[in-house]
Amino acid sequence: MFLAREMKKESGDLGVRVIDALSANPQRPPKARELARNLRIPARQYRGFISLLKRLEKQGRIERVKGHRYQLRRTRKSELAGLLTITRRGDGFVRLDQKGGDVFIPASRLGTGMEGDRVHVEINQRRRGKNRAGTVLEVLSRARKNVVGRIYRVKRQVYLAPFGRGLLGDVLIQMAPDMEVDEGDVAIVNLRSYGDARLPPTGRVERVLGRLSDPGVDVLAIACEAELPIEFPPDVLSAAEEAISARVSDPGIRRIDRSSLLCFTIDPSDAQDHDDALSIVELEGGSVEVGVHIADVAHFVRPEDPMDAEARERGTSVYLVDRVIPMLPPVLSTEVCSLNPEVRRFAISLFLELDQNGSIKNRRYERTVIECRYALSYGEAQAVLDKRTSISQDVDRALFLLDQHAKCIRSERRARGGLDLDLPEAKVVLDEDGFPIEIQRRERYESHRLVEDFMIFANEVVANDLCAHGARALFRVHEPPTAESVEELAEAMSALGLQRLRGKSLDASNVQALIDSANGIEQKALVSSLVLRTLQRARYDKDNIGHFGLGSDAYVHFTSPIRRYPDLVVQRAVAAAFLGDEGFGDLGSEALKVNAELASAREQRAVEAERETVALKKVEFMEARLGETFPARITGVTSFGLFVTLDEYFVDGLVHVRSMEDDFYQVREGKWSLVGERTGNRHTLGDHLEVQVIRVDKEARHIDFSYV
């Protein structure tokens, strides 16, 4: 209990102190008692301290040496640590912590490593023009303790076949006396051992979710597989009610009544929480004052509250295909904090005075009370911009002015190198039982761009202001792509017959030109997707290193504190720096680092879970269309086949080379074409072809097509 409580409260501070203490005197490794004495650990907390040392040792950060003494782990020259990911074919890649790059791990050398584990590897082979190859020596820390899958029996033995990729083999179930499971049940199993070359992994059933065919069980299984927290602990729910009771009638210091402003939200039609609202007022000389109003979550969720610890652990709200798992209790996320229409709400407002070209003339921050007049959907806002409908004279005028200035802001961002990727998204339409009845490309309107432009703009302004003030914050950073990725993109552009890159770097002078050189919506989407694959993943960091994709010198996430924890951290920094709120002290550097790493990991977990639920429903949708043929476009080429996206539905799948029976196909021209050895038939990235649905696997979330 001590360790869990202290790690949450101090964000890993004690672990950092241990590392610092061992770094300060590497010549004389201390024993545990000596180290505890040096760090002034109370006697009642010694057992928790020993648990912490064991955890650090398991993570590979420290090691025990002769005499039961502790020192920082010494890495051998050929031994490296990193994060393990597993491919669909069962092989692995380890992204190294320190020296960068990936190490290829054949399936036979993974040991008991699973997707997301931190592992130590040894380099066995250096291959010219390819990734280094290696072997997993040991697993330093496990990404998961539970697995989700389907129960089956072999004689008297009970097994679980795990769902998803990158997991262990089938798990032998140790049955509890009072636990009953049936063949085909979907269950959560707690792993007790991870097996080895001779013995299977073992575990105990924690919970039976139901049958995979039961409504909602398939999505729930993915949520549990990702270890998403479904329910809120009772103490967090109680804390939310107490915070509302104590703070909803207390506006705090220097809150200004701006309820007379014409404010409105613009969100998806099914949105349940409204983080941000906009207002615009015309000034003399053609200038305007745009108000970006953000829900004042920091007023209700204080750093010392159980709600804060829970929100930090969750990291983000998760939007699955049939449900939302919120970061904050619903009484806050959809009611008291949400900027719902026709009710007074607390906000942190950034007022931007803009000239006719969208340049900032002045700005100020206020703690406000606002009252949104309307909750517009993107479709409703677009209908006004298209002059197909009218909401009111004032709202119509406000939307046209906002759109005009948003275009100026967007143009400036593109000119400095910000990317404008046009990436289509799938919208899955479900019936009341959760069965997919339609897969559509999600509509993207100019009203989407309007909101995005002002939110990006506000995030940049806040980031620059915090930097100028010398305040610490969680920055959203995005590093430039590697030279190898740029070279790969150049080859893909050549395969598509489009403009080649100028030079060996991606910068403002050539990236957008690549996207704009595409012909038509489909090819532009494909090129945007290829550019996205080239880019590194954006993440959170305590240090500002800029945002390549947006062309920003400094960037934060500030505008969505209801659904993202980093936004709440930044909102507190704004309140402390510009609104005189002394209740939000400056977070220490190490605490920010821990928050950044956790937030990045939680974001990735959410993205993968959301993607998996959409993939699941796509498989379920295509199951009813087995044997049917569809026109498709090639979106990826590998040695084992072609990845395609259907024209009619936004559904992806694989055409395996085994189904291409007219010839023996091999990769040619970089790796962007499959070419038949006998006929010379060529299938290249971007080509159209006809495919037939031949197999679906709901558990693996995979669709196979054959080439017609």
Q: Give pLDDT tens digits for 617-646.
A: 999 999 999 999 999 999 888 888 899 999
Query: Which of 493, 516, 535 marks a domain boundary?
Result: 535
Residues 260 and 327 in one domain: yes
CATH number of the structural domain spanning residue 27: 1.10.10.10
pLDDT of 7 reads 36
Report the mean per-residue pLDDT for the chain: 87
Q: Are 292 and 455 in contact (CB under 8 A)?
A: yes
pLDDT of 79 reads 63
Residues 344 and 253 in one domain: yes
218 within domain boundaries: no
Residues 304 and 189 in one domain: no
pLDDT of 669 reads 56
| Statement: residue 163 has pLDDT above 80 | yes
415 within domain boundaries: no
Question: Which of the 8 DSSP states describes residue 472?
Answer: -
List all residues 6 or more positions away from 465 whose beta carbon is below 8 Å from its beta carbon: 363, 574, 577, 578
Residue 9: pLDDT band with limits 50, 70, 90: very low
Number of domains observed in the structure of the chain? 6
Residue 39: pLDDT band with limits 50, 70, 90: confident
Query: Which of 535, 553, 571 marks a domain boundary?
Result: 535
Range of the domain at 57: 2-72
Three-state secondary structure call for residue 550: coil
d(Cα 418, Cα 348) in Å, to the nearest integer? 27
Phi-psi region of 135 (alpha: psi -120 to 50; beta: other; left: phi over 0): beta
Residues 251 and 380 in one domain: yes
Residues 592 and 457 in one domain: yes
Residues 179 and 303 in one domain: no
Mean pLDDT value across residues 163-179 = 78
67 within domain boundaries: yes
57 within domain boundaries: yes
| Statement: residue 185 has pLDDT above 60 | yes
d(Cα 108, Cα 549) in Å, to the nearest integer? 38
Residues 474 and 347 in one domain: yes
Three-state secondary structure call for residue 266: strand
Surface-to-core class of residue 305, CB atoms within 10 Å of its CB (0-12 exposed, 13-18 middle, 19+ buried): middle
pLDDT of 75 reads 56
| Statement: residue 176 has pLDDT above 90 | no
List all residues 6 or more positions away from 127 whose beta carbon is below 8 Å from its beta carbon: 133
Lowest-confidence pick of 122-136, 230-244, 268-282, 456-470: 122-136
- CA torsion sign for 364, 366, 372, 376 is positive
Residues 348 and 304 in one domain: yes
Surface-to-core class of residue 40, CB atoms within 10 Å of its CB (0-12 exposed, 13-18 middle, 19+ buried): exposed
Query: Which of 611, 641, 668 marks a domain boundary?
Result: 611
Nearest CA to 293 out of 355, 372, 361 is that of 372
Residues 435 and 308 in one domain: yes
Q: Which residues of 653-688 are buried (b: 16+ CB within 10 A; e: fewer)?
A: bbbbbebbeeeebeeeeebbbbbbeeeeeebbbbbe
pLDDT of 648 reads 85
- Percent share of the chain, pLDDT over 70: 91
List all residues 6 or more positions away from 184 whose beta carbon is below 8 Å from its beta carbon: 150, 151, 152, 211, 212
Surface-to-core class of residue 254, CB atoms within 10 Å of its CB (0-12 exposed, 13-18 middle, 19+ buried): exposed
Q: Are 70 and 53 in contact (CB under 8 A)?
A: yes
d(Cα 644, Cα 120) in Å, to the nearest integer? 36
Provide the β-strand partners of residue 703: 696
Task: Report the 3 state secondary structure along 366-408.
Answer: EEEEEEEEEEEEHHHHHHHHCCCCCCCHHHHHHHHHHHHHHHH
491 within domain boundaries: yes
pLDDT for 228-278, tens place per residue? 999 999 999 999 999 999 999 999 888 999 999 999 999 999 899 999 999
Residue 502: pLDDT band with limits 50, 70, 90: low
Residues 43 and 179 in one domain: no
pLDDT of 6 reads 35
pLDDT of 503 reads 57
pLDDT for 530-579, tens place per residue? 888 788 889 999 999 999 989 899 999 999 999 999 999 999 999 999 99
Three-state secondary structure call for residue 6: helix
Residues 153 and 300 in one domain: no
List all residues 6 or more positions away from 330 whose beta carbon is below 8 Å from its beta carbon: none
Mean pLDDT value across residues 280-295 = 96
Lowest-confidence pick of 108-122, 602-616, 665-679: 665-679
pLDDT of 13 reads 63
pLDDT for 329-382, tens place per residue? 999 999 999 999 999 999 999 999 999 988 999 999 999 999 999 999 999 999
40 within domain boundaries: yes
Residues 94 and 21 in one domain: no
216 within domain boundaries: no
Lowest-confidence pick of 42-46, 146-150, 185-189, 378-382: 42-46
Q: Compare 387 and 677 and report the one with higher pLDDT.
A: 387
221 within domain boundaries: no
CA 603 to chain centre: 3
pLDDT of 504 reads 55
CATH number of the structural domain spanning residue 664: 2.40.50.140
Lowest-confidence pick of 125-139, 186-200, 592-606: 125-139
pLDDT of 149 reads 92
Mean pLDDT value across residues 152-181 = 83
Q: Are 205 and 179 in contact (CB under 8 A)?
A: yes
Lowest-confidence pick of 81-95, 500-514, 686-700: 500-514
CA 362 to chain centre: 34
pLDDT for 44-73, tens place per residue? 888 888 888 888 877 667 888 887 888 887
